[in-house]
Amino acid sequence: MHINFNLPKKILGWYDNNKRSLPWRVGKNSPKKLYYRLLSEFMLQQTQVTTVIPYFKKFTKYFKTLKSLSKSNEQKILKLWEGLGYYRRARNLLATSKVLVNQYNSKLPNTIKEIKKLPGIGDYTANALIGLVHDQPAIAVDGNVKRVFSRIVNKKESKINFDQFIEINKKIFFNSKRNSDFVEALMEFGALICKPKDPKCYICNLNKNCKYFNSSIKIKNIKYKMIKNKNYDVFCYINKKKQIALTKKNNLGFLNQLSLPEIKEANKNIRSRDWKFLKKYKNSISNKKLNINLYYKFSNKIPSSFVWHSMDKNKELIPTFTKKIFRQVSTLF
């Protein structure tokens, strides 16, 4: 069962524009990465994301680091865990934190075999951690990921050996240099788009390559619920250093918590002489079709909520929507 299209590119393109803002998602170089990922993976075992978030925040407020968690006792851990259920997870979390701090200098082992020796960690969690923490080529195969894969090839999950499936397609799966993001993007995609019931096939950017979509009469008859084209003005502060000012504050109702220029619904009456028109182009995000009017202004002064970003460096955390703006604005230099 070979996949003959660039799945990571499509999945990551969707993920960059639509991923949820979750408290355990920190930068690749963050000193909190191992602690946050370990804690969240234990909590998310058989528990919904929305249920886990307040418990995760409570834990990280009380225990600031993996080391402080490891020095705690079972009574304190169980008290904070109260209400989350499956208390064996809490005991295993404490035991694992002690092993990592005392035997591995607060670092995660770099092989699946060694990670699986930690208390309470099996195949799924080991693959998730080695991918998310070490950025190694591994896929955590949960129910969401199984569903995405099985629908792409239009086979029942029970008929697929997922270890073999990943091995056969590893050259495609691990060609993006963003292994940790791909691990998470697959799970996110299965949870939000390729859902068990009423999958959002009409906005799925895999539907052209999905055998389930292209063979199912029920799915093929779903009407595409695309929202009508909407016009937006995008205002870009730029400077001579090839930097563009971005903010995470917007009132659009989508692209929340992502780094963007100033975006407003198009209004002919608010055009300022200070802004120069650069280009008009089309873009789409999920089921939204956008007509973009792109404006720019050279300036060294920007509003307090904006931060300068280089258009040549550090693009890995910039959403695809903004990268397209980078490409348009870079023609000015």
Between CA 62 and CA 207 the distance in angstroms is: 44
Q: Is 265 a catalytic residue?
A: no
Q: At 18, list the tokens.
A: 């639509």
Q: Judging by DSSP bridges, how do beta strands 227-238 and 288-298 pair with one another?
A: parallel
Q: At 80, list the tokens.
A: 């904070």
CB-based contact 58:80 (threshold 8 Å): yes
CB-based contact 325:314 (threshold 8 Å): no
Between CA 306 and CA 259 the distance in angstroms is: 9
Q: Among 41, 184, 188, 262, which one carries the catalytic annotation?
A: 41
DSSP character for 226?
Answer: P
Tell whether the torsion through CA atoms of 205, 211, 214 and 216 is positive or negative: negative
Between CA 201 and CA 121 the distance in angstroms is: 34
Strand partners, 246: 307
The H-or-E segment that residue 163 falls in is helix 162-168
DSSP character for 260?
Answer: B
CB-based contact 205:193 (threshold 8 Å): no
CB-based contact 110:129 (threshold 8 Å): no
The H-or-E segment that residue 54 falls in is helix 49-62
- Supply the residues annotated as catalytic: 41
